[in-house]
Chains A and B, each alone.
Chain A
Amino acid sequence: MNHTVTDAVPVATHDESQQHPIRLYLVVWVWLFVLSVGSYMVDILQFQGFLRWGLILVLMALKAGLIVSIFMHMRWERLALSYAILVPPVVILVFVAMMALEANYTQLTRVLFLNAGT
Chain B
Amino acid sequence: MSDPAVPQRASGWSGIVADWSSDQRSFKTASWGKVMMWVFLLSDTFIFGCFLLSYMTARMSTTVPWPNASEVFSLEIAGNHMPLLLIAIMTFVLITSSGTMAMAVNFGYRRDRAKTAILMLLTAAFGLMFVGMQAFEWSKLISEGVRPWENPWGAQQFGAIFFMITGFHGTHVSIGVIFLLIVARKVWRGDFDTGRPGFFTSRKGRYEIVEIMGLYWHFVDLVWVFIFALFYLW
Residues in chain A within 8 A of chain B (CB atoms):
7, 9-20, 22, 25-26, 28-29, 32-33, 36, 39-40, 42-44, 53, 56-57, 59-60, 63-64, 67-68, 70-73, 76-81, 83-85, 88-89, 92, 95-96, 99-100, 102-104, 106-107, 110-111, 114, 116-118
Contact = CB atoms under 8 A, between A and B. Distances in A.
Nearest to A99: B57
Given A25-B102, A56-B229, A60-B226, A19 B83 contact: no
A70 to B, nearest CB: 8
A72 B83 contact: no
Contact of A36 (B42, B64, B88): B88
B148 interface: no
B30 A81 contact: yes
Contacts of B230: 60
- By DSSP majority rule, is chain A's interface helix, strand, loop, or mixed? helix
Contacts of B64: 118
A84 B96 contact: no
A92 B53 contact: yes
| Most A Cβ at <10 Å: residue of B27, B35, B53, B207 | B27
A56 B110 CA distance: 38
B38 interface: yes
26 contacts: A10-B7, A11-B25, A12-B1, A13-B6, A13-B9, A14-B28, A16-B31, A26-B99, A36-B228, A39-B229, A44-B83, A59-B229, A71-B101, A73-B211, A79-B19, A80-B19, A81-B26, A81-B30, A85-B41, A89-B46, A96-B56, A104-B61, A106-B60, A110-B63, A118-B64, A118-B155
